[in-house]
Structure 1
Amino acid sequence: MTLLLKLLLAPALVVGSSLAGRRWGAQVTGVLVTLPIVAGPILLISCLEHGTAFGAAAAASSLLGLVTLALFAVVFAWCSRRLAWVGALAVAWSACLAADVLVAQVTVPAGWGLLLALAGIAAASRALPPQAASVGVRPATAWPWWDLPGRAAATATLVVLVTTLSSALGPAMTGVLAPFPIATSVVAAFVLARHGSAETVRTLRGVLAGLVGFTVFCFLVAVLVDRWGVAAAFSLALAVTVAGQLTWLRVRRARSDQRRSQRRQEAGVTGAVGLSSAQRR
């Protein structure tokens, strides 16, 4: 059963979120890939294989892993202005892995981890490059046939590797590596290759917004799984996270619709004033 979870659960979730993101756009993609579609299965398998105490400690450490994931988003966004996707990915992964090694040496309670994760996400959001300053916008091209299989294979590889080595890694490193940006990397790399830096920054802005829900998931698992058990803790954490992400998407869409409506009204007023001036002349 755990082998099937390793091979199928996270890859299926990554593919599903990728398809949904293609349907609704870059920022939605950014939010969807920050659902616990990879870290959730890793933490679940850790609980099933090593017990809830191990899982709770790993979930607490994964909050620090979210700080390094936010760092990845910032580094990739800035690199996307000057580098192709391969170079941007290499630099961002190097920064993320170095930060993972450092934060894995630190053990903090889940409450402090929650505060550090939220502070890191807020700082990363402010550190992103301005969207208007991006360069290199390219027209969209068809997705290659190997895109979805590649995402699924990369996800399965990470899940199998981390969960197989979890006994040797310990709960701290297992938790820190659980949010490693596999799905985010694939999405960001393809967006940069297909659309350029401007769309990449928009996508990563959505990633950082979605990390708030991811943070809540890890925190709830950390504080509840050893008390309530695996089923209850993961069910509640997932329900709260999904509800929060859906609410956030609705709010963003409503704001976007409102801005478009205001621009149309302003354009209509400007056109009417210009027509009136022309008639008077």
Structure 2
Amino acid sequence: MNILFFKLTIIPLVIGLITLISRKWGNRVGGVVGSMPWVAGPILVFFILEQGKDFGIRSIPGILMGIIALVSFCYCYALLSKRMKWLPTLLLSYVAFALTALVLDAIPLTIWGIYGLALVVITIALYYFPRPSVGQAAPSRAKPPKYDLLFRMLVATLFVLAITGLAAILGPSWSGVLTPFPILTSILAIFNHYLQGSTAAITVLRGIMIGLVGFTTFLFLQAFLLHEFSVVVAFLIALVVNAVINLVSSRVWG
């Protein structure tokens, strides 16, 4: 079946599902669930289908670097959301992502080195992650803006179309770095920040951070599993590992 059809259907469904989960079970659960490879996983599959398995495997170190940059985004947004409105907070957090990615791209690291660095950075960031402000009044916006769910789906789908469409130009390294670009994370953070204040934004971002150990491990395993197994088997094995790590991480950091 046409790859474009999958791009136009899978991503909107995933975004809609995560949004509904967050609304039903709360921001922390929504954050942990949102940290699963719902966007990065399909993007990696599209890399493989359109550019070849070797391209997909060579993009993985870049994806791991992008995850470290994502940590910078989450920490920066959580910190600044206490003092700023959503737009300046978002823009400065994007700057943090970009600067981190540029610095890491200049450092020669093996796949093991990047994975180890990512785990250390995630752990330190969780330990020092900003806490919600006690007694802070939430904005009086009881309902999400009209068509917000459709907007979330559209933004995420356009991002996937852009990053996979430009993959041949960007090459595996920078295609990988941009794969974890905080599109889904931004959507969750912005709407929670706008509707419920910084406390909700920090809560959902902390949930995402808790799930990043499993997310990072999922992608790290692909560098080895894709050499030995089909894409389906490699993803299923890594998804099980990801889910187990998320359960453990939720108990440790939750």
- Indicate whether the TM-score tops 0.5: yes
Matches of residues 156-167 of structure 1 in structure 2 within 5 Å? 156-167=157-168
Contact 1:57–1:172 (CA under 8 A) maintained in structure 2? yes
Query: Which whole-Å CA distance do the structure 2 matches of 1:44 and 1:187 have between them?
Result: 24
Q: 1:185 matched to which residue of 2?
A: 186
AA aligned opposite 1:99: T
Runs of 5+ consecutive residues of structure 1 not aligned to the other structure: 257-281
Give the number of equivalent residue pairs: 253
Query: Which whole-Å CA distance do the structure 2 matches of 1:227 and 1:102 have between them?
Result: 32
Specify the SS of the correspondent of 2:37.
coil
**Any idea what the Cα deviations from partners look like across 1:83-113, whole Å, max 9, x if unmatched?**
1111111111122123223333445332222
CA drift at 1:131: 2.5
CA 1:246 to 1:145, structure 2 compared with 1: closer, same or farther past 3 Å? farther
CA 1:67 to 1:134, structure 2 compared with 1: closer, same or farther past 3 Å? farther
AA aligned opposite 2:126: S
Q: 2:116 matched to which residue of 1?
A: 115
Specify the SS of the correspondent of 1:193.
helix
Q: 1:201 matched to which residue of 2?
A: 202
Contact 1:81–1:134 (CA under 8 A) maintained in structure 2? no
More deviation, 80-89/224-233? 224-233
Q: 1:7 matched to which residue of 2?
A: 8
AA aligned opposite 2:241: V
CA drift at 1:204: 1.3
Matches of residues 207-222 of structure 1 in structure 2 within 5 Å? 207-222=208-223
State percent identity of aligned pairs. 33
Q: 1:261 matched to which residue of 2?
A: none
Compute the TM-score of the two structures, normalised by the length of structure 2: 0.92
Matches of residues 128-277 of structure 1 in structure 2 within 5 Å? 128-132=129-133, 135-139=136-140, 141-246=142-247, 248-249=249-250, 251=251
CA drift at 1:74: 0.8
Contact 1:61–1:107 (CA under 8 A) maintained in structure 2? no
CA drift at 1:217: 0.9
Contact 1:30–1:203 (CA under 8 A) maintained in structure 2? yes
Contact 1:107–1:172 (CA under 8 A) maintained in structure 2? no
Query: Which whole-Å CA distance do the structure 1 matches of 2:47 and 2:61 have between them?
Result: 13
Q: 1:37 matched to which residue of 2?
A: 38
AA aligned opposite 2:211: G
CA drift at 1:245: 2.7
Q: 1:104 matched to which residue of 2?
A: 105
More deviation, 238-247/223-232? 238-247
Specify the SS of the correspondent of 1:40.
helix
Aligned Cα root-mean-square deviation (Å): 2.0
Query: Which whole-Å CA distance do the structure 2 matches of 1:54 and 1:230 have between them?
Result: 13
CA drift at 1:28: 0.7
Compute the TM-score of the two structures, normalised by the length of structure 1: 0.83
Query: Which whole-Å CA distance do the structure 1 matches of 2:224 and 2:248 have between them?
Result: 24
Query: Which whole-Å CA distance do the structure 2 matches of 1:83 and 1:134 have between them?
Result: 17
Contact 1:54–1:171 (CA under 8 A) maintained in structure 2? yes
